[in-house]
């Protein structure tokens, strides 16, 4: 079986086999671009390696050797040859892009002999030994697992000894001495000498790259980005080109557009006389790409042309790695560039305008998860007076938090409920857990393409890079800005859009819709057939929802109106009433309050449907806590506190609360069960709805109330309550006005039996709204309030379940019930309107499912509406 594919034989479609890097290197080779030749070891070989208990098979090693021989011929060099040595890089390359998460080793094939050959061949001793020390360092840390700090401090000492600040100023002799120190370090840390046998080097490097698939930071990154563990990584073995050969050489990264703003400008950074990770690791702060235009105009033009060609070819913004060796340009990688949501939108909209993409392509490309970022917060400019430092605006958005200087501390503090800003000299992939935990990140070194910037943008976290005035001393838990000192725990505010680090906790401003988002949403609306409604419980939320594009309210939870301090006592009086008369009195007080809420909501939603759910939760949710009441009662009774009157009041309250207490309230007297036993409660709510409708109609508002009966499990429940609605509607509105108020009555399907008996229930319903929170709870038999803390997290972590079913709809089980109910319900009543209103209404995968089974709408919280509109369009495509 073929497990090794030379670049000239692959192409971009083979990404699953060759990984992203390998497939694109092959595609670029095909397109005639200057790519150093090499070959890719497939992801299948990686999986086979894992299966064999982390061992490379003999057949794979043979194929690698054969491909290497071919490469030797292409390059006219020989691997391990003392006079004319071939050097290679061994590069990881996963299927889904995981920038910086896995390992790469450069300059492989150097040893004590070949380094001399390289020096003689290039007539550049300093260069050759620089390559060798880099190999020792990378091989030592990546392959042999020695902490890179050991190498760094040896390097630091060498530079001090030579009295230089920059790596490229170290002399050849300095490198030679450092190489001996590195070799001694490797020997003492591992008990074995650095392998002089170049084939041994290659074999160990391939193994190390395969194994790096399972290193901690790669695992965290995969989890965060939902990349399957089963993918494995490919390995690319590529002949080296050298950006560290002197002043006519260099290396850099360019984006075909600005990844922070999406602006159509050539964007990037480079360093002269540097190799590999020097740019992205932020070791020196790089130059902006426009400087290359002056330094090497011909190379700049060639790079620009190649970039345009690649962008056109891939129809997307590209992130391109390049190296210049002695005035000759090489391309080392291209991929779709990571970008933040705002840039993603702008780029997609621009590509449509430039005729590169269709609207459909553009919409289907939007990552809906990232849309959250778009509704970014900003800084209240008036308050931002105490600017500590100005760095590069690496990832937009504003963040407030307490300063911490270490990733572990960030994680700990956040677990303890604090908001933190992570400040580092530069970040490395080892800091990823800290970046995830922090509200925002800033670094004192590194550019727009440094690790911190790339990772933060991907996560939509505000990030500021390269604040050169800041000196961070993690060991002392403090940092210095000019002559100012800031300690761990002090509050700071980051503005990723302008690159400012500001002292103190600034007030943040909420986000607004950008022009590009509005355009994209308009395109999405043209495409989608699934409607998007909002869950909104009051006029304010309804207003926001409408602004964000809601086409109606899918769920208005009336009980949320009961919790305000002014109303709760009346609600309690209603619940605790000794008889019906007393209850009616309290209800009469509640009626105008509910009515005015409904009026406000109807006005906001003028002309659109408003689905109002009648009272749902168990009554004790509105009452004082039983335990506390019992304690107070005991104090009053046995310890003789308080007055007689108070004692009696508490005793009576306790009796009632005890009487209402349920062992399992989620399955108790709630929803329509309550409405049937105490019809006067629903009666009042229905009356409030139609009175509000009546006032609104008089004011010229078009109202479409849809009254939703919760927790129905038997058709008779709905039948009775529907009759109640129709009766009250008649009474309140009278015949004539009724005609101006086209209302509907439907039910939430959230008890499994309701789904199973949809045929009977549909006979009494105008619509079904799937309450997927309760439906999930009851279908799985998982208590929503307990499961997550107990077993559910364990289940998901151990992959017993693919997702938390309360976040992503369980299409296999719960989804089946929904599909059944929809199909059967429509058979009985073709006009039946269907939708979902659980948390799932704002989840992309769940939305795709809702479209697939033909629901009419999804309903979600207001801020998720843009996401749902895009996802609904993607579902159609």
x/- letters, 214..243, toward ligand ADP (CB under 6 A): ------------------------x-xx--
Residues 376-415, interacting with ligand ADP (CB under 6 A): none
SS3 702: coil
In Å, what is the CA distance from 153 to each residue of 134, 148, 160, 761?
A: 14, 9, 10, 75
Beta carbon of residue 37, minimum distance to ligand ADP (angstroms, whole number): 9
Q: Which is nearer to ligand ADP, 99 or 842 (CB)?
A: 99
Beta carbon of residue 244, minimum distance to ligand ADP (angstroms, whole number): 9
Q: Which is nearer to ligand ADP, 243 or 713 (CB)?
A: 243
d(CA 823, CA 446): 58
Beta carbon of residue 456, minimum distance to Mg ion (angstroms, whole number): 18
Q: What is the sign, positive or negative, of the torsion defined by CA atoms of 534, 536, 541, 542?
A: positive
The helix (H) or strand (E) run that includes residue 867 is helix 865-876
x/- letters, 622..661, toward ligand ADP (CB under 6 A): ----------------------------------------
The helix (H) or strand (E) run that includes residue 765 is none
- Of 691, 538, 545, 556, nearest to 616 (Cα)? 556
Beta carbon of residue 425, minimum distance to Mg ion (angstroms, whole number): 22
# of chain residues touching ligand ADP (CB under 6 A): 18
Beta carbon of residue 322, minimum distance to ligand ADP (angstroms, whole number): 8
Residues 841-870, interacting with ligand ADP (CB under 6 A): none
Q: Which is nearer to ligand ADP, 241 or 374 (CB)?
A: 241
Q: Which is nearer to ligand ADP, 241 or 520 (CB)?
A: 241
Beta carbon of residue 431, minimum distance to ligand ADP (angstroms, whole number): 15
- Of 803, 819, 825, 829, nearest to 854 (Cα)? 819
- Of 517, 535, 543, 475, nearest to 769 (Cα)? 535
Query: Does 810 interact with Mg ion (rule: CB under 5 A)?
Result: no
- Of 695, 810, 818, 807, nearest to 756 (Cα)? 818
Beta carbon of residue 483, minimum distance to Mg ion (angstroms, whole number): 40
Query: Does 318 interact with ligand ADP (rule: CB under 6 A)?
Result: no
Q: Which residues contact 734 (CB under 8 A, 6 or more apart)?
A: none
Strand 857-860 versus strand 833-836 pairing type: parallel
Q: Which is nearer to ligand ADP, 332 or 865 (CB)?
A: 332
Residues 769-808, interacting with Mg ion (CB under 5 A): 771, 774
In contact, 251 and 279? CB cutoff 8 Å: yes
Find the radius of gyration of the CA atoms of the chain. Answer: 33
Beta carbon of residue 787, minimum distance to Mg ion (angstroms, whole number): 16
Give 84-120 as a DSSP string: SEE-EEEEEEESS--TTTS-EEEEET--TTHHHHHHH
In contact, 365 and 287? CB cutoff 8 Å: no
Interacting residue with ligand ADP among 19, 117, 276, 675 (CB under 6 A): 276
Q: Which is nearer to ligand ADP, 174 or 250 (CB)?
A: 250
Beta carbon of residue 35, minimum distance to ligand ADP (angstroms, whole number): 9
Q: Which residues contact 833 (CB under 8 A, 6 or more apart)?
A: 744, 746, 766, 767, 768, 856, 857
Beta carbon of residue 88, minimum distance to ligand ADP (angstroms, whole number): 7
Residue 62 CB: number of other CB atoms within 10 A? 11
Q: Which residues contact 761 (CB under 8 A, 6 or more apart)?
A: 712, 715, 718, 747, 749, 754, 768, 825
Phi (first) and psi of residue 464, to 5 degrees: -125, 130
Q: Which is nearer to ligand ADP, 77 or 611 (CB)?
A: 77
Q: Which is nearer to Mg ion, 744 or 773 (CB)?
A: 773
Q: Which is nearer to ligand ADP, 335 or 869 (CB)?
A: 335
Output DSSP code: residue 557.
Answer: E
In contact, 671 and 616? CB cutoff 8 Å: yes
Query: Does 333 interact with ligand ADP (rule: CB under 6 A)?
Result: yes
Q: Which residues contact 526 (CB under 8 A, 6 or more apart)?
A: 359
d(CA 869, CA 185): 58
**Piece of the chain touching Mg ion by CB under 5 A; list 133-141, 329-337, 626-634, 833-841:** 329-337
Query: Does 92 interact with Mg ion (rule: CB under 5 A)?
Result: no
Q: Which is nearer to Mg ion, 551 or 750 (CB)?
A: 750
- Of 756, 814, 811, nearest to 784 (Cα)? 814
Q: Which residues contact 650 (CB under 8 A, 6 or more apart)?
A: 629, 632, 633, 636, 642
State the binding partner of 91 from Mg ion, ligand ADP, none, CB within 5 to 8 A by kind: ligand ADP
Q: Does the annotation count 837 as an active-site position?
A: yes
Q: What is the sign, positive or negative, of the torsion defined by CA atoms of 140, 141, 145, 146?
A: positive
Q: Which is nearer to Mg ion, 609 or 838 (CB)?
A: 838
Residue keyed to tokens 């490309």: 365
Interacting residue with ligand ADP among 125, 167, 316, 321 (CB under 6 A): 321
Query: Does 143 interact with ligand ADP (rule: CB under 6 A)?
Result: no
Beta carbon of residue 277, minimum distance to ligand ADP (angstroms, whole number): 6
State the binding partner of 496 from Mg ion, ligand ADP, none, CB within 5 to 8 A by kind: none
Active-site annotation holder among 150, 376, 451, 620: 451
In contact, 802 and 836? CB cutoff 8 Å: no
State the binding partner of 240 from Mg ion, ligand ADP, none, CB within 5 to 8 A by kind: ligand ADP
Beta carbon of residue 578, minimum distance to Mg ion (angstroms, whole number): 30
Residues 66-125, interacting with ligand ADP (CB under 6 A): 89, 91-92, 99-100, 104, 106
- Of 79, 72, 70, 138, nearest to 104 (Cα)? 138
Residues 290-309, interacting with Mg ion (CB under 5 A): none
Active-site annotation holder among 465, 467, 672, 837: 837
x/- letters, 26..45, toward ligand ADP (CB under 6 A): ----------x---------
State the binding partner of 100 from ligand ADP, Mg ion, none, CB within 5 to 8 A by kind: ligand ADP
Residue 474 CB: number of other CB atoms within 10 A? 16
Give 578-620 as a DSSP string: SSHHHHHHHHHHHHHHHHHHHHHHHHHTTTSEEEEEPP-S-GG
Q: Which is nearer to ligand ADP, 35 or 754 (CB)?
A: 35
Which region holds residue 428: left if phi is over 0, alpha if psi is between -120 and 50, else beta? Answer: beta
Query: Does 332 interact with ligand ADP (rule: CB under 6 A)?
Result: yes
Output DSSP code: residue 247.
Answer: T
Q: Which is nearer to ligand ADP, 127 or 849 (CB)?
A: 127
Beta carbon of residue 30, minimum distance to ligand ADP (angstroms, whole number): 18
Interacting residue with ligand ADP among 231, 323, 594, 595 (CB under 6 A): 323
d(CA 712, CA 697): 31
Report the residue number whose CB is nearest to Mg ion.
774
Residues in the chain: 877
Residues 728-767, interacting with Mg ion (CB under 5 A): 750
State the binding partner of 269 from Mg ion, ligand ADP, none, CB within 5 to 8 A by kind: none
Query: Does 333 interact with Mg ion (rule: CB under 5 A)?
Result: yes
State the binding partner of 862 from Mg ion, ligand ADP, none, CB within 5 to 8 A by kind: none
Contact residues: ligand ADP, CB under 6 A: 36, 89, 91-92, 99-100, 104, 106, 238, 240-241, 251, 276-277, 321, 323, 332-333
Contact residues: Mg ion, CB under 5 A: 333, 750, 771, 774
Catalytic residue numbers read: 451, 837
């Amino acid at each position: 079986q073929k497990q090794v594919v030379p670049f000239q034989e692959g192409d971009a479609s083979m990404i699953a086999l060759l990984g992203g890097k390998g497939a694109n290197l092959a595609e670029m080779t095909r397109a005639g671009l200057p790519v150093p030749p090499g070959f890719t070891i497939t992801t299948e070989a990686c999986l086979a390696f894992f299966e064999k208990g982390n061992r490379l098979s003999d057949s794979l090693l043979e194929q690698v050797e054969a491909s290497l021989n071919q490469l030797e011929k292409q390059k006219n060099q020989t691997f391990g040859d003392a006079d004319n040595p071939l050097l290679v890089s061994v590069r990881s390359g996963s299927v889904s892009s995981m920038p910086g998460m896995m390992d790469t080793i450069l300059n492989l094939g150097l040893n004590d002999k070949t380094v001399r050959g390289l020096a003689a061949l290039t007539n550049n001793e300093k260069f050759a030994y620089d390559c060798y020390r880099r190999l020792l360092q990378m091989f030592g840390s990546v392959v042999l697992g020695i902490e890179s700090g050991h190498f760094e401090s040896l390097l630091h000492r060498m530079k001090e000894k030579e009295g230089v600040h920059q790596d490229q100023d170290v002399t050849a002799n300095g490198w030679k001495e450092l190489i001996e120190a590195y070799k001694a370090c490797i020997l003492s840390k591992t008990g074995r000498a650095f392998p002089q046998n170049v084939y041994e080097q290659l074999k160990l490097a391939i193994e190390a790259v395969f194994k790096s698939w399972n290193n901690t930071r790669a695992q965290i990154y995969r989890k965060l980005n939902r990349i399957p563990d089963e993918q494995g990584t490919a390995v690319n073995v590529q002949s080296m080109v050298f950006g560290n050969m002197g002043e006519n050489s260099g290396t850099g990264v360019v984006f075909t557009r600005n990844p922070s703003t999406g602006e159509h400008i050539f964007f990037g950074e480079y360093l002269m006389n540097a190799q590999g990770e020097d740019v992205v690791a932020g070791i020196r702060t790089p130059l902006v790409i426009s400087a290359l235009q002056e330094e090497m105009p011909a190379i700049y033009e060639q790079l620009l042309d190649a970039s345009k060609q690649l962008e056109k070819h891939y129809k997307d913004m590209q992130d391109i790695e390049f190296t210049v060796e002695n005035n000759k340009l090489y391309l080392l990688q291209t991929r779709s560039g990571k970008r933040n949501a705002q840039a993603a939108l702008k780029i997609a909209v621009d590509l449509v305008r430039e005729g590169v993409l269709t609207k459909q392509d553009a919409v289907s490309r939007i990552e809906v998860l990232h849309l959250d970022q778009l509704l970014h917060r900003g800084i209240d400019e008036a308050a931002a007076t105490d600017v500590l430092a100005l760095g590069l605006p690496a990832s937009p958005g504003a963040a407030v938090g307490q300063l911490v200087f270490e990733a572990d501390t960030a994680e700990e503090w956040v677990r303890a409920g604090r908001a933190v800003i992570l400040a580092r000299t530069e970040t490395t992939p080892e800091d990823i857990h800290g970046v995830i935990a922090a509200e925002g990140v800033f670094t004192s070194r590194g550019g727009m393409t440094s690790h911190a910037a790339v990772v933060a943008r991907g996560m939509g976290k505000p990030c500021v890079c390269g604040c050169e005035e800041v000196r961070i001393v993690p060991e002392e838990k403090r940092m210095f800005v000019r002559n100012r000192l800031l300690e761990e725990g002090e509050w700071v505010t980051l503005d990723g859009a302008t690159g400012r680090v500001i002292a103190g906790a600034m007030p943040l401003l909420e986000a607004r819709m950008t022009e590009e988002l509005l355009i994209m949403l308009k395109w999405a609306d043209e495409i989608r057939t699934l409607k998007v409604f909002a869950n909104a419980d009051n006029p304010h939320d309804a207003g926001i929802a409408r602004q964000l594009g809601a086409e109606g309210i899918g769920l208005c939870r009336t009980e949320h109106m009961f919790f305000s301090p002014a109303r709760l006592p009346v609600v309690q009086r209603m619940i605790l009433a000794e008889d019906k008369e007393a209850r009616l009195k309290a209800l009469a007080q509640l009626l105008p309050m509910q009515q005015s809420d409904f009026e406000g909501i109807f006005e906001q939603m003028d002309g659109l449907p408003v689905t109002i759910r009648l009272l749902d939760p168990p009554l004790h949710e509105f009452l004082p806590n039983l335990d506390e009441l019992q304690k107070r009662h005991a104090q009053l009774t046995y310890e003789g506190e308080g007055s007689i009157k108070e004692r009696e009041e508490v005793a009576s309250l306790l009796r009632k609360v005890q009487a209402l207490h349920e062992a399992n309230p989620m399955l108790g007297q709630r929803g329509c069960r309550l409405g049937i036993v105490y019809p006067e409660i629903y009666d009042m709510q229905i009356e409030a709805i139609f009175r509000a409708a009546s006032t609104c109609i008089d004011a010229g508002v078009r109202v479409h109330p849809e009254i939703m009966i919760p927790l129905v499990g038997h058709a008779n429940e709905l039948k009775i309550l529907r009759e109640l609605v129709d009766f009250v509607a008649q009474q309140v509105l009278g015949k004539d006005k009724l005609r101006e108020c086209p209302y509907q009555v439907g039910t939430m399907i959230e008890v499994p039996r309701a789904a199973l008996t949809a045929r009977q229930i549909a006979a009494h319903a105008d619509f079904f709204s799937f309450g997927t929170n309760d439906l999930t709870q009851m279908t799985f038999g998982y208590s929503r309030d307990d499961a997550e803390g107990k077993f559910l997290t364990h289940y998901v972590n151990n992959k017993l379940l693919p997702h938390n079913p309360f976040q992503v709809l369980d299409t296999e089980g719960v989804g089946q019930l929904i599909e059944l109910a929809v199909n059967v319900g429509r058979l009985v009543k073709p006009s039946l309107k269907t939708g979902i209103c659980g948390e799932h209404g704002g989840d992309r995968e769940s939305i795709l499912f809702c479209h697939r089974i033909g629901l009419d709408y999804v309903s979600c919280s207001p801020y998720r509406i843009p996401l749902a509109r895009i996802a609904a369009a993607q579902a159609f495509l």
